[in-house]
């Protein structure tokens, strides 16, 4: 649930706060859960609505994208990292930036589908939209990210330097 809220909020402190709010809301409304669907889906809906309610507050205090996380693999000696590791970090930063740059209406379904592994039907239920609308938003998000990475490859790819 933390990872889900982190992907939505793009900030670890906000995700921690949202997680606490989510479980507090769940606890207050626990009697409303009848077991008709999955508990995970019920919690995701509460978490998503908590995020939506907090979005105006979060937008005012927005921190750096993805809270400035270092995508390195944690090895102590940076000089020992291979060229492949450097390229992976470079690409990861650009993929994260491309995901961060997506409009919220595209980013949220994309994150749920690609990073959380939810189905289109689950996302549609969680976000109160049709599966077709979810599919269109995920497709558009993927196309925009692909275009941005293609531009990156053109600038830094095999053909030459920027």
Q: How many C-beta atoms lie closer than 10 Å to residue 101's C-beta?
A: 12
Q: What angle do CA 73, 76, 78 make, to 5 degrees?
A: 75
Token pair of 33 as six digits: 């859960």
Give the pLDDT confidence score for residue 84 in this predicted structure.
Answer: 62
Domain boundaries, the chain: 1-67, 83-162
pLDDT of residue 83: 66
Lowest mean pLDDT among 26-30, 83-87, 91-95: 83-87
> CA 118, CA 41: separation in Å to the nearest integer?
10
The whole-number pLDDT of residue 70 equals 45
10 Å CB burial of residue 121 (0-12, 13-18, 19+) is exposed
Please state which of the ranges 15-19, 33-37, 72-76, 87-91 shows the lowest mean pLDDT. 72-76
- What confidence tier does 7 reach under pLDDT thresholds 50, 70, 90? confident
Question: Which CATH architecture best describes the domain 83-162?
Answer: Orthogonal Bundle (1.10)
pLDDT in tens, 113-132: 888 888 899 899 888 899 99
Rounded to whole angstroms, how far apart are CA atoms 128 and 96? 26
Q: Is the pLDDT of residue 160 over 70?
A: no
Token duo for residue 78: 């940076």
Q: How confident is the model at residue 94 (pLDDT cuts 50, 70, 90)?
A: confident
What are the tens digits of pLDDT across the range 27-83? 898 888 887 777 888 888 899 889 888 888 877 665 444 444 444 444 444 554 566
CA atoms of 35 and 29, how far apart (whole Å): 13
Rounded-to-10 torsion of CA 12, 16, 62, 48: 110
What's the whole-model pTM score?
Answer: 0.53
Write down the pLDDT at residue 118. 84
What's 34-73 look like in SS3? CCCCCHHHHHHHHHHHHHHHHHHHHHHCCCCHHHHCCCCC
Helix (DSSP H) and strand (DSSP E) numbers for the chain: 7, 0
Q: Which fold has domain 1-67?
A: Rna Polymerase Sigma Factor; Chain: A (1.10.1740)
């Amino acid at each position: 649930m933390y990872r889900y809220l982190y992907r939505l909020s793009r900030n670890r402190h906000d995700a921690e706060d949202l997680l606490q709010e989510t479980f507090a809301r769940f606890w207050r409304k626990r009697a409303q859960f009848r077991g008709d669907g999955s508990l995970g889906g019920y919690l995701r809906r509460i978490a998503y609505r908590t995020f939506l309610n907090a979005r105006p507050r979060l937008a005012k205090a927005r921190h750096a994208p993805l809270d400035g996380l270092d995508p390195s693999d944690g090895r102590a000696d940076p000089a020992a990292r291979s060229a492949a590791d450097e390229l992976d970090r470079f690409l990861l930063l650009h993929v994260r930036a491309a995901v961060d740059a997506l409009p919220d209406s595209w980013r949220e379904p994309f994150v749920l589908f690609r990073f959380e592994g939810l189905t289109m039907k689950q996302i549609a239920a969680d976000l109160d939209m049709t599966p077709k609308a979810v599919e269109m938003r995920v497709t558009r998000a993927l196309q925009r990210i692909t275009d941005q990475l293609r531009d990156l490859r053109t600038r830094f790819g095999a053909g030459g330097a920027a």
